[in-house]
C-alpha cells in the first residue's frame, strides 16, 4: 500500500488490482478506501466482491450488509446490491435469510430479474404460509420451474438470433445506402397488369447477403463492469460471435444493463475491450451479451478469432 494516497486513489488502485485478479491486494486497497465515509459504501461492496472471488462468502455477506448501510447508493443500486447479497446467502445455504432479502427486493421492484422464481423455489422447500395452506403448491411450482428450464434455452437462442439478424440488417441498410438506392430502383418497376414487380435486370442487380455469424465454442477469460463500477466481475466466455457472446459467472446482472467487456485471448496476451455490451438474457450463473458499441479494430479481432476457432 502506498502511503499518502487518498481514499479515491486507494479505490481506483483496488479496481485495477481486482481487474487483474490480485484479489488480496485489491481487498486491502478497498478496505483502506472504506475508512473514508464518502467512499465507504462502494468500497465495501467491492470488498464483498473480492471476498466472494476468494471463496470467503461468509465475510462477503457482512461486507454487503455494511455497504447497504451507506446512504450513498440510489434505490436502484441498493436493489442490485441486495440481489448479490441474496445470491450469496443462497449459495451458503442460508435460505431463510435469502428469502427475506428477495422478498424485500420484490416489494421495491416486482419485476427485478428472476426474483419471483427464486422466491418460489425457496418457498417450495420451506414453511411458506401459501404452500402450507395448499398441498398442491409444491407440485405446481416444480412443474412451472421444469417447464421454464426446458423452454428458456430455446427462447434465449431465438432472441439472440433475432437480435443478431436485426443488427446485421441495420448495418446492411446503412452500408448500402438502401433508401437512396431504392428511390432509383423504383423507376424500373414493371407496372404492366398482372406483372407488377421489379424487372429481371434489377432483380439480378440486388445483392443478396449470405453471410452468417454463428457463434463458435470457446473458453476464454473475460471481465466486465458497469460504467459506475458498482457492478464488476469476471467470468468464462463460452460462445463468441462478432455480434455477442455468452458468459458464465457467479455475479448477477440485469437485463438491459450496459457493460464494458474485456476479453482475454487464449494466450492471455493483448486483451481487447468491447466498449459497450448490452445484457439480452439471464440464467442462473450465466448471461448473454450483444455488442452494441465496438471499435472497428476490436471487431476485426473478434471476427478473426471466430474464424480461427470455427471448424472448417
Is-contact 14 1, C-beta < 8 A? no
C-alpha cell at 234: 469476471
Among 114-118, 170-174, 251-255, 267-271, the minimum mean pLDDT is found in 170-174
**Residue pLDDT, tens place only, 265-310:** 877 677 889 999 999 999 999 999 999 999 998 888 888 888 876 6
> Phi and psi dihedrals of 188, rounded to 5?
-100, 15
CATH superfamily of 7-129: Tetratricopeptide repeat domain (1.25.40.10)
Measure Cα distances from 270 to 16, 264, 291, 298, 300 in Å. 16, 7, 19, 11, 14
Query: Greater confidence, 108 or 144?
Result: 108
pLDDT at site 302: 87
Name the residue among 296, 285, 302 with its Cα closest to residue 240: 302
DSSP sequence for 16-43: HHHHTT-HHHHHHHHHHHTTSHHHHHHH
What is the model's pLDDT at position 164? 67
Which residues are CB-contacts of 128 (< 8 A; sequence separation ≥ 6)? none
pLDDT of residue 235: 92
Residue 44 confidence (pLDDT) = 92
What pLDDT does 182 receive? 46
pLDDT beyond 90 at 148: no
Q: Which is higher by pLDDT, 157 or 212?
A: 157
In the Cβ-directed half-sphere of 268, how many Cα atoms lie within 13 Å?
4
**Which residues, 6 or more positions from 2, have their beta carbon under 8 angstroms from its beta carbon?**
9, 13
pLDDT in tens, 256-277: 999 999 998 877 677 889 999 9
Mean pLDDT across 82-105: 92
- Residue 261 has which C-alpha cell? 467487456
Question: Over pLDDT 70: what percentage of the chain?
Answer: 74
Determine the Cα–Cα distance for residues 87 and 41; give it in Å rounded to an integer.
19
Largest CA distance in the chain: 86
Q: Where are the alpha helices (DSSP H) in the chain?
A: 7-19, 23-33, 37-53, 57-68, 75-91, 95-108, 115-124, 129-133, 137-176, 178-185, 200-205, 296-309
pLDDT tens per residue across span 167-206: 666 656 555 554 444 444 444 444 444 444 444 333 444 3
Q: What's the mean pLDDT in 214-229? A: 83
252 within 8 A of 274, measured Cβ to Cβ: no
Cβ neighbours for 130, distance < 8 A, ≥ 6 positions apart: 123, 137
What is the mean pLDDT of the segment spanning 54-82? Answer: 90
Q: Which residue has cell 438506392?
A: 181
More confident residue, 309 or 33: 33
pTM: 0.44
Output 11 or 166, whichever has higher pLDDT: 11
Correct CATH for 216-309 of 3.90.1150.10, 2.60.40.10, 3.30.70.141, 2.40.10.220: 2.40.10.220
User: What is the rounded distance in angstroms from the CA atom of residue 97 to the CA atom of residue 90?
Assistant: 8
- Please determine whether the domains at 7-129 and 216-309 fall in the same fold group of CATH: no
Q: What is the mean pLDDT of the chain?
A: 78
Minimum mean pLDDT range among 154-158, 217-221, 222-226:
154-158
Which residues lie closer than 8 Å to 87 by C-beta, 6 or more apart? 98, 250, 252
Locate the domains of the chain by residue range.
Answer: 7-129, 216-309
Amino acid at each position: 500500500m502506498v502511503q499518502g494516497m487518498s481514499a479515491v486513489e486507494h479505490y481506483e488502485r483496488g479496481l485495477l488490482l481486482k481487474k487483474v485478479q490480485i484479489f488480496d491486494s485489491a481487498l486491502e486497497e478497498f478496505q483502506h478506501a472504506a475508512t473514508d465515509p464518502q467512499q465507504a459504501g462502494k468500497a465495501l461492496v467491492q470488498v464483498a466482491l473480492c471476498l466472494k472471488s476468494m471463496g470467503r462468502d461468509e465475510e462477503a455477506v457482512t461486507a454487503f450488509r455494511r455497504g447497504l448501510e451507506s446512504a450513498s447508493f440510489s434505490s436502484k443500486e441498493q436493489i442490485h446490491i441486495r440481489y448479490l447479497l441474496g445470491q450469496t446467502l443462497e449459495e451458503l445455504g442460508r435460505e431463510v435469510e435469502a428469502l427475506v432479502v428477495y422478498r424485500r427486493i420484490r416489494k421495491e421492484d416486482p419485476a427485478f430479474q428472476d426474483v419471483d422464481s427464486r422466491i418460489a423455489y425457496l418457498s417450495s422447500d420451506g414453511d411458506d404460509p401459501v404452500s402450507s395452506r395448499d398441498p398442491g403448491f409444491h407440485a405446481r411450482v416444480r412443474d412451472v420451474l421444469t417447464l421454464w428450464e426446458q423452454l428458456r434455452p430455446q427462447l434465449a437462442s431465438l432472441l439472440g438470433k433475432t437480435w443478431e439478424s436485426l443488427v446485421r440488417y441495420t448495418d446492411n441498410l446503412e452500408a448500402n445506402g438502401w433508401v437512396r438506392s431504392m428511390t432509383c430502383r423504383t423507376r424500373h418497376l414493371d407496372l404492366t397488369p398482372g406483372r407488377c414487380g421489379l424487372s429481371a435486370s434489377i432483380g439480378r442487380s440486388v445483392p443478396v447477403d449470405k453471410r452468417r455469424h454463428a457463434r463458435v465454442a470457446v473458453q476464454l477469460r473475460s471481465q466486465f463492469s458497469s460504467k459506475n463500477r458498482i457492478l464488476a466481475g469476471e467470468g468464462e466466455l463460452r460462445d463468441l460471435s462478432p455480434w455477442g457472446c455468452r458468459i458464465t459467472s457467479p455475479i448477477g446482472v440485469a437485463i438491459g444493463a450496459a457493460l464494458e467487456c474485456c476479453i482475454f485471448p487464449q494466450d492471455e496476451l493483448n486483451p481487447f475491450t468491447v466498449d459497450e455490451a448490452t445484457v439480452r438474457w439471464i440464467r442462473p450463473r450465466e448471461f448473454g451479451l450483444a455488442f452494441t458499441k465496438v471499435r472497428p479494430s476490436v471487431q476485426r479481432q473478434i471476427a478473426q478469432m471466430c474464424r480461427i476457432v470455427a471448424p472448417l
